[in-house]
A = this chain, B = another copy of it.
């Protein structure tokens, strides 16, 4: 059980996948699951599943598999899903509104506490019970509400400024929907969600990789 070792990004991504599978299995009442079963549900190999889990300990029983409930709980702790996180969304536009409307985030413990915009017509109105605040108070509000994660859903040109404000307020995790490369300290975790890029990957596949 090589704890403390650096875990690869791919492994962490797959932990999310296992977590989702295990949640489903738990609802179905399955007591145990084998690495083979988990692998078949996604497009993985049993060895991959076992190796991933082995980085965090030995959770399985030889000849039997992994205890569903226990493993799900263990992964929840590893991923930090056994608690809640305070989230703020910046940009009350199409994407921002969609995110706020999405109930699953709250159920998973990602609590959207604040929404920001710079449009006076939107400020003061409310989305799903959460009032839209003025982005000019961003840093102060982020601090006051102990926001852990900031979601950036503003137009590209505004994204860098928002990111810097968030960082200055002590935020250590950003999910960015704007199609720009944010420059922030390495100590802040950044994930980009670039839908255009996804479409471009599909396009590349469709043309077969040559013009």
Contacts and interface: CB of A to CB of B under 8 A. Distances in A.
A203 B85 CA distance: 8
Interface string A157-194: 00000000000000011110001010000000101011
A79 B179 CA distance: 17
A203 B79 contact: yes
A96 to B, nearest CB: 9
Given A12-B201, A201-B16, A196 B104 contact: yes
In which size bucket is the chain A interface? 35 or more
This chain's copy number in the assembly: 2
A26 to B, nearest CB: 16
B200 A78 contact: no
B80 A42 contact: no
Interface of A: 3, 7, 9, 12-13, 15-17, 19-20, 41-43, 74, 77-82, 85, 87, 94-95, 97-99, 101-102, 104-105, 108, 110, 148-149, 172-175, 179, 181, 189, 191, 193-207, 209-211
8 contacts: A9-B201, A15-B204, A17-B197, A79-B207, A173-B202, A174-B202, A191-B198, A193-B198
A149 to B, nearest CB: 6
A78 B202 contact: no
Contact of A203 (B80, B95, B200, B202): B80
Contacts of A198: 175, 191, 193
Contacts of A211: 74, 77-78, 80, 82
Contact of A102 (B12, B81, B94): B94
